[in-house]
C-alpha cells in the first residue's frame, strides 16, 4: 500500500529576518496572507496559490554559508525549491531590476528542454526558477549543465 500524494501543499523556509525575506519573496510574486500570533511563522502566497511558510527564527548564519550547499561536507536535507515560471527571460529581467544575483544559469539539464536559473534568498536558501523552453538567443542561450562533482 502507498500514500496517494495529490500535490505539494506548502514549502517551509527558515529565515533570520522577516522583513528582509519578504522583500526578496515579493519579487517572486508572494504576498503576506497570514501571520501566526503564537509562532514565528508567516504564510505567503502568490497569485496562483503557491504557498510558502517563512519561519523567521534562524539564529545562526553559519558564517554566511548554506550548510547544505556551501560546505565541503555533504549533509542530508532539502537543498532547494524549484518554482515554475512562465518565462525565464522575464524572470531574468525582474531579478536584474531588483538587484538579485543569478548564482547559476540559465542552464539546461538536457532532459526535457526546460531551462533553470538559480538564486539565493538573503539567508542563502536556494531557489530554482524553472521555465519551459523559449528562445534565449538574445541573452546568449542556456548552457548545458555539467556536474562539478
Residue pair 141/134 in contact (Cβ under 8 Å)? The answer is no
* Beta-strand relationship, 115-120 and 102-108: antiparallel
| Rounded Cα–Cα distance for residues 148 and 26 (Å) | 32
Q: pTM (2 decimals)?
A: 0.88
pLDDT tens-digit series, residues 113-127: 789 999 999 999 999
- Is 119 exposed, middle or buried (CB count within 10 Å of its CB: 0-12, 13-18, 19+)? buried
Q: Are 115 and 108 in contact (CB under 8 A)?
A: yes
**pLDDT 10s digits, 46-86:** 999 999 999 999 998 888 888 878 888 888 888 899 999 99
The Cα 72–Cα 74 span in angstroms is: 6
Q: Which domains does the chain show, CATH number per domain?
A: 11-144 (3.10.180.10)
Amino acid at each position: 500500500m502507498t500514500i496517494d500524494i495529490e500535490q505539494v501543499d506548502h514549502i517551509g523556509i527558515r529565515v533570520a529576518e522577516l522583513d528582509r525575506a519578504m522583500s526578496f519573496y515579493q519579487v517572486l510574486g508572494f504576498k503576506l496572507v497570514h501571520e501566526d500570533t503564537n509562532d514565528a511563522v508567516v504564510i505567503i502566497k502568490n497569485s496562483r496559490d503557491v504557498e510558502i511558510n517563512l519561519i523567521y527564527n534562524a539564529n545562526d548564519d553559519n558564517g554566511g554559508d548554506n550548510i547544505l550547499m556551501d560546505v565541503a561536507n555533504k549533509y542530508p536535507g532539502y537543498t532547494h525549491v524549484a518554482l515554475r515560471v512562465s518565462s525565464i527571460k522575464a524572470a531574468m529581467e525582474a531579478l536584474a531590476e531588483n538587484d538579485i544575483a543569478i548564482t547559476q544559469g540559465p542552464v539546461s539539464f538536457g532532459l526535457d528542454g526546460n531551462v533553470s536559473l538559480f538564486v539565493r534568498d538573503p539567508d542563502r536558501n536556494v531557489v530554482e526558477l524553472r521555465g519551459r523552453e523559449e528562445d534565449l538567443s538574445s541573452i546568449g542561450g542556456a548552457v548545458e549543465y555539467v556536474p562539478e562533482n
